[in-house]
Structure formats: C-alpha cells, structure tokens
Amino acid sequence: MKIGYVIAGSTPTEFLATLDPERPIRLYEYVAVDSVEIPPDVEEAVQVRLVGQIVKMIRDPYQLKRDIPLYNVVEGVSHDLLEVQIAKVKILGYFWNGEIHMPKLPPRIGAPVYLARDDEVAELYGSGELCVGRLSARPLDICLDVEGLKRHVAVIAATGSGKTWFSVVLIEELLKRGASVVVLDPHGEYVAARDTAQRLGGVGALTVKVSGHHAGDVMYRIGVLDMDPDDLADAAGVPPKATKIRYSIYLAHALAKAAYEAGARRMGPRGLTAILSAALRGDQNLRRSLKQWGVDGEKIDEKVNELAELAKKDQHSIFSAAAYLRRLARLGVFAAKTTPLGKIMADLTVVNLAGVGDEIQDYVAWHMLTRIFRARVRHVRGLPGVKLEKPVVVVVEEAHRFAPPKSARRTRSYEAVSRIAAEGRKFGVYLVVVTQRPSRVDPDVMSQMQSQVIMRIVNPKDQEAVRDSSEQLAQDYLDNLPGLDRGEAVVLGPIVKLPAVIRLRDRLLDYGGADISLVEAWRRQDVDVATIWTRIFRSPPPPSAALAASRISVKSAEQDGGVWKAVTSDGAHVELSIESGYAKCSLCGSSGCAHVYRVLSEVVKVRRAA
C-alpha cells in the first residue's frame, strides 16, 4: 500500500517522506522503499527493498509564511488550507541472501513509500526465545534472543512506566526455559511473584528474607566468624572514626575465632558480646570463660591481655562495642553460621531485603552476589568448594541503591555488581539491572549493560545518562521517550536484532509495589460499619447494638439521592445518609440503635457488592 514519497534528506541511513495527510499513520510504523544497491560480493547494482521505521512525524501548513499572524490567516482560509504530513524514516536495512544489510546508496527523491508487509517486518527481528510482547506499531510478537543476556541488560523507566512489569514478564520467560533467577528485592515487591510461580508449572520458587517480620521461606544468616572484623563493625553501624570500639570488636572476633579453631562451637554476635562482658569483669574472668569454651589461654595470651588492658582503661569502648553487637544480634541476619548456598537457591529465588536498613541491605547483597559468583567460578574452573551448576540471572531492583557512582558514595555491593558486570559472562552470571534513575547508577556498570529496555523517561539527566550508556539509541528515539505509554519500551542491544519499540504482554505472575488507588483505599473505609457509625455518632458502636441487630431483618431498603430509606421486620422506619453523616429511627429517635446498626450493615453489603 503506497502511503507517500521520499522528498528530502535522503541518505543511506534515513530520509524524509511526505505522507497522505488523510491517511492516519502511527509513529514507529514500518515502511518500505524500492531502491538500487550493490550488495556484498555483487559487482552490479540490483533492485532491493529497503525497510525503515518512522521515528518522527510532524504536520505543517503548506507554504505558510512564518511572519504572517497564523490565526488571522487560518481564520480566512481554513477551508482551503493545504496540510502536509512529514515523516522522518530511519532505514533498518534490506535483505540479501537471508541476511540484513545496511545500504550504501540513498533512496532516490520521489521514490514511492509503502507500508511494509508483515512478513518483511517479522523477518527483521527473526525468532527469539523470550516472548515479552508485541511490536508497538504491529500486532506481531517480539521475542528476545536469550543469548543476548550474556552481555547483561538494563531496564530503565520512570516510576509507574512498567519497569517491574517488564522484569516479571522477563522472569516468566526465563523460568519457562529452565533458567535459575535470583532477584534482589529491596521492597518485597517480588514476593507475590514467588507466591504465584506455580502458575508456570513445575517451577521451584522460594523467598529468602533478612527480617523476621517480613515474608519469606528461609531466613538468610551470615556467620560473623566468616566476616572480616572491619566489615562486622561496619554492619553493626560503628562509625569509622570510633577506632577503640572497632578494636574491641576486632579482639572479641579474634578470640571467638580462636575458640572455634580449638574445637568450641561457632559464636555469633551474642557470643562476641559474652567475651566483651567477661573482659569487663577482669582478665581472670575472661580466661576462665575462654577455658570453658575450650581455648588454651597461653596460645592467645597476647589478645587476652590486650582486651583485658583495654577493659581497664576504657570501659566505655567495651560497653559500646557490646551494645553495637547486641543490636546486630537483634536483626537476626548475623549469627553463628552462614546459611548454606544450596538452601537458598531455587529456579526463582526472591531475596526479600525489606525490613532492614540500607547498610544491612548493602552488605547482604554483596555477600550473596559474591557467593553466587564464586560458586560459578568454582564450577567453570573445576575448583573445590560449593558450586552452582546452572548459569544464574541476577535481577537487581533499584540498582542505584547498590551501585551508585563512586563519586557519590561507596557501597559494598558495588564491588560485587561491578565484578559481575565485567566478568560474569565468562562464568555464567548475568545481570539485569532495574532502575528509575540511570543517572544515579555508576556509569562503568551501565556501560557494561549492552542490552537496554528503555521505557518512559522525563528527567533530562536520566535521558543524558541513557544516551551516554547506549551506542545504538538514536536521538530520535531519545526525543520520543517522554511520549511512551505505560508498558511501551524501546529495546536495543544483543537481545534483539534491531532496535524495536514494543508493547509488553500480560503477565502471569503477580507482583507488589504498584501505586495504591486512593479512591479505593478511602472507599474501603466508607464500607466499614464501625467506621461509619463512629463518624455519625462520634463513638464506636456499643456491643449491645450489634447483638440486638442480629435478631432484626430488613424488609426493604432503597436509596433516594444520598439518603437510604429502609423498613425493618419490627416496623421501624430508618433514614440514613453516609455522606451527610446522620441517621434516625422512627421507633428509637435519632440516637444510635439496633435498627440503625442493622440497616447500616445492609447498606455496607450493597456498597461492597458495587
């Protein structure tokens, strides 16, 4: 179907076309132009069909002078005004011997422009494995190349644009193909995805939690003796300049480690606190405690003396160190033993980080990612120790929390994220970083995300960060980002043969974190009997009213404007207005009574059904 002609700016990569102004053509539509080209390994020019995509559209009046007041002109000639529709077309290539090639010759001026056929568009993108949606301009499925994950993926979008939606759809597709997926979830939004994973059939899923008060199947614990003493002090929140407190923790850690090596049980934060408490009672008391734990004092005499001497000179530091460790013990994450890696790995592992502070989230993220990466290294290189046989896709939600620019602040998890970004593809650990603020993610990490899924972005700094991190994002696509609808995305990089604008498919798994409906939330208050009663009568309903109301039935009830009028089984006529906040009963007067309570219950039932 012919829709226009090439008119200007014709190059081997793009051209301007004038389109029929009466024919509605949407942005991102695919078009075709017949042209001549000299394909590879061919000596003479041949006829080819170039396929392109409309990346910009404008409508203008034909030859209207800019210095004439537009309103006056249009008012006089509105019925005769000629309109032109101009489209900028980005050339995607032409097919030759089953492959896509970019032209080296521009299409000629005046060449007809056609709508591309569906089969031509489908051939552009080939057949991938991860079917996440369809093209925005055509009802054609778009399936991403699973091998493209080896170069990592960034999912970038403003709040409410659908980045979590895409992440869940991608997780579904990965699980269908037997992948192992780990999600770092700072807010617990993906717990619902784990709870509904059975919809995919045969998928094992679990939630790892770091707070005892939040949802999870397994509590993640980190053995303090596996930690560096400085890391332990950081996790406990000890200020960097509190050197004596940190030294106290270092000495307690050293003694606890010596006790374990001597055959005593592993100690957690409470065990370290017990060592500090024993030191406050004197060096002899400390030695007796260590002896009970199976430690020969002579072997660690130097550390015992140092701790005892510190306890004599600076009890405050010892008290403070013990207080920090007790706080750490209350969190539940830091304990005597580290949770085995095999116990927390499933087809889908959601790491629910909700319920703890940023410092603990940061440390847990670093600890878990480091263990996963090292386990894959051992498997690939045949080294001894805990191994993971399957490659792992790690989804990092709110990536700006874990890998901010080094100039802004340093996080421990940055070390693990940046290492996986740089080396993960060699060992089968692949990143999907999800963020609403790409300008707040370290540029070195973003530069390693060679595939990008970019949704609606308005912030200029974030647009600039996206442009700097992507070699394929043309300015025209960048200009259109604020106009994307929710669920639309520009996809580019190794996961797709050519840049595509897609619309996400419906998801199977649930997820949390969506904006609440204020209308619905407030309406739920309006359909609660006790809440409405309290609003009308300024006090909660008495138990006697509720009890008596259970013996009354409502014969009829109807709404007249904002007023409900009802008749009960014992002949009471009740009028009730929730909006105005009043109620009266023909038998009992205007005070709250069982008849009003019964009618109010009936009104609530009707409103809930609505």
Token readout for 547 is 């009890």
User: Does 541 fall in a domain?
Assistant: yes
Q: Which residues contact 275 (CB under 8 A, 6 or more apart)?
A: 252, 255, 256, 267, 286, 289, 290, 307
**Domain shared by 231 and 359, yes or no:** no
In a domain, 132, yes or no: no
Predicted confidence at residue 78, as pLDDT, reads 57
Amino acid at residue number 83: E
Contact 52, 31 (CB under 8 A): yes
Nearest to 402 by CA among 372, 371, 446: 446
**pLDDT for 518 beyond 60:** no
Residue 136, domain member (yes or no): no
- 524 pLDDT above the threshold of 60: no
d(CA 221, CA 211): 10
Q: Which domain holds residue 352?
A: 142-220+339-504
HSE (CB half, 13 Å, CA atoms) of 409? 12
In which residue are the tokens 């979590």 written? 164
Residues 83 and 41 reside in one and the same domain: yes
Q: Using the 3D structure, point to which of 286, 317, 335 is the last residue of a domain.
A: 335
Tell me the pLDDT tens digit for each residue of 107-149.
Answer: 999 999 999 999 999 998 888 899 999 999 999 999 999 999 9
Judgement on whether residues 176 and 252 belong to the same structural domain of the protein: no
* 42 located within any domain: yes
By C-alpha distance, which of 206, 216, 153, 150 is closest to 395? 153
- The beta strands (E) that lie in 107-211 are given as 112-115, 130-135, 141-144, 153-156, 180-185, 205-209
Same domain, 356 and 484: yes
Pick the residue with more confidence: 94 or 483?
Answer: 94
Number of C-beta neighbours around residue 524 at 10 A: 13
> Of 335, 358, 392, which one is at a domain's C-terminal end?
335
408, part of any domain? yes
Question: How confident is the model over 80-108, as pLDDT tens digits?
Answer: 567 788 999 999 999 988 889 999 999 99
- 3-class DSSP string for 546-591: HHHHCCCCEEEEEEECCEEEEEECCCCEEEEECCCCEEEECCCECC
Of residues 446, 488, 487, the one with CA closest to residue 466? 446
Handedness of CA 166, 169, 174, 180 (dihedral sign): positive
Provide the pLDDT for residue 99: 87
pLDDT digits (tens, 9 = 90+) for 391-447: 999 999 999 999 999 888 888 899 999 999 999 999 999 999 999 888 899 999 998
What pLDDT is recorded for position 323? 92
Instruction: Say whether both 345 and 473 belong to one domain.
Output: yes
Q: Which amino acid is at 202?
A: G
Question: Final residue of a domain: which of 266, 301, 335?
Answer: 335
Q: Flag whether 511 is in a domain.
A: no
| 307 contacts: CB under 8 Å, gap ≥ 6 | 248, 251, 252, 255, 275, 276, 279, 286
Which are the contacts of 54, defined by CB distance < 8 A and separation ≥ 6?
25, 26, 27, 28, 29, 30, 31, 87, 88, 89
Instruction: Kindly report the average pLDDT of the chain as a whole number.
Output: 86
Q: Where are the alpha helices (DSSP H) in 237-314?
A: 243-261, 269-280, 283-292, 301-313
For residues 176 and 200, give the distance between their C-alpha atoms in angstroms, rounded to a whole number: 7
CA distance 177 to 408: 39
In a domain, 179, yes or no: yes
Percent of the chain surpassing pLDDT 70: 90
In total, the chain counts a number of residues equal to: 610
* pLDDT of amino acid 581: 72
Concatenated DSSP letters for 430-470?
Answer: EEEEEES-GGGS-HHHHHH--EEEE-----HHHHHHHHHH-
Q: Mind listing the pLDDT tens digit for each residue in 231-268?
A: 899 888 899 899 999 999 999 998 888 888 877 888 99
Query: Do both 356 and 207 map to the same domain?
Result: yes
Q: What pLDDT shows up at residue 69?
A: 54
Is the same domain home to 95 and 45?
A: yes
- Measure CA 61 to chain center: 45
Residues 500 and 354 in one domain: yes
Tally the domains of the chain: 4
- Does residue 305 contact residue 297 with C-beta atoms inside 8 Å? no
| Same-domain check for residues 214 and 358 | yes
Residue 493, CA distances (Å) to 35, 167, 438, 449 in order: 27, 17, 17, 9
Q: Is residue 362 part of a domain?
A: yes
Answer yes or no: do 210 and 346 share one domain.
yes
| Per-residue confidence (pLDDT) for residue 186, from 0 to 100 | 92
Three-state secondary-structure class, residue 511: coil
343 and 216 assigned to the same domain: yes
Same structural domain, 374 and 491: yes
85 pairs with which residues across the strands? Answer: 19, 59
Question: Which tokens in the block code for residue 567?
Answer: 């008749």
